[in-house]
Amino acid sequence: MVCSIVGLGLMGGSFGLAMRDYFDEIIGIDHNKHHCEDAINLGLVDKIGEFKDIEKSDVVVLAIPVKSIINSLQNISKLNIKKDLTIIDFGSTKESIIKNCPNSIRKNLVASHPMAGTEYSGPQAAIADLYKNKVMVVCNIEESGKIQRKRAIDIFNKLQMHIKYMDAKEHDRHAAFISHMPHIVSFSIANSVLKQEDKEHIVALAAGGFKDMSRLAKSNPHMWKDIFSENKKNLLDAVEAFESELKKAKEMIEKEEWDKLQEWMKMGNNLHKIM
């Protein structure tokens, strides 16, 4: 079985590493020549190909930004693909991808979102166990073909992932609160500290708490700009919810309502009882 991976960064590269013994051949496709060179040198793929190589593939993984996924689906629909080709996309939002997928290849698409990743990017960041024990959200599975469903699930099981089925619209709202909003908060923390503190004091005083809260600010700004753009409405709802809680905390501090503030913090402790 032949697999083409479009996008040889962290997500695509890690998929290639993890699935080397599952596919007979893995073809890497990326417009970045340096990514292609690194992918070969690191053993992430067997060879570098072109987009047209998807025609001889049994599986194609789209590990690229959402807008690029939509464009790729349009282009795939114009190729002479195998009838049972399975297309798996790793887009961070799902509704726009499904909505814009050409009808002619809708059954080929298994719309998925791996809840995995790090703050690093590029082929050098790829790790073989990135997906192990992580959740793979699969959206609107009833719209995918029977063969494609089975093949995708086999792949996710091979990756040792936990599969969660969800409606695309529901997924995008949950992702805004649990993934996208924390990134905005982390960037905000990083920027507020950079504007108030000099480098020497940041290095000297930054401990575990600050490092944990600011870790996501290392993430690729270009990639996250696209994610925020695609999920704008849900993200704004999440940011407003966060602002509301931050405002409550500020008011309690201003009024020196320390017991009330303590109860508010206890409520936040409950999150980790369910994680």
Domain boundary among 137, 166, 195: 166
Domain boundary among 166, 200, 215: 166
Average pLDDT over residues 221-235: 91
CATH of the domain at 267: 1.10.3660.10
Query: Same domain, yes or no, for 15 and 122?
Result: yes
Average pLDDT over residues 74-83: 96
Domain count, the chain: 2
List Cβ neighbours of 113 (8 Å cut-off, separation of 6 or more). Answer: 90, 91, 92, 94, 136, 137, 139, 171, 175
Q: What average pLDDT is seen over the chain?
A: 92
Please state the pTM of the whole predicted model.
Answer: 0.84
- Are 143 and 99 in contact, with CB atoms under 8 Å apart? no
Which contiguous run of DSSP H or E holds residue 86? strand 86-89
pLDDT score recorded for residue 104: 97
Cα dihedral 222, 224, 227, 233 in deg (nearest 10): -120
Query: Same domain, yes or no, for 267 and 188?
Result: yes
pLDDT in tens, 79-123: 999 999 999 999 999 999 999 999 999 999 999 999 988 778 899
CATH of the domain at 57: 3.40.50.720
User: Residue 196 belongs to what domain range?
Assistant: 171-273
Domain boundary among 166, 192, 218: 166
pLDDT score recorded for residue 272: 80
Average pLDDT over residues 155-177: 96
pLDDT band at 275; cut points 50, 70, 90: low
Query: Same domain, yes or no, for 144 and 200?
Result: no
Query: Same domain, yes or no, for 184 and 87?
Result: no
pLDDT in tens, 132-155: 999 999 999 999 999 999 999 999
Query: Same domain, yes or no, for 98 and 43?
Result: yes
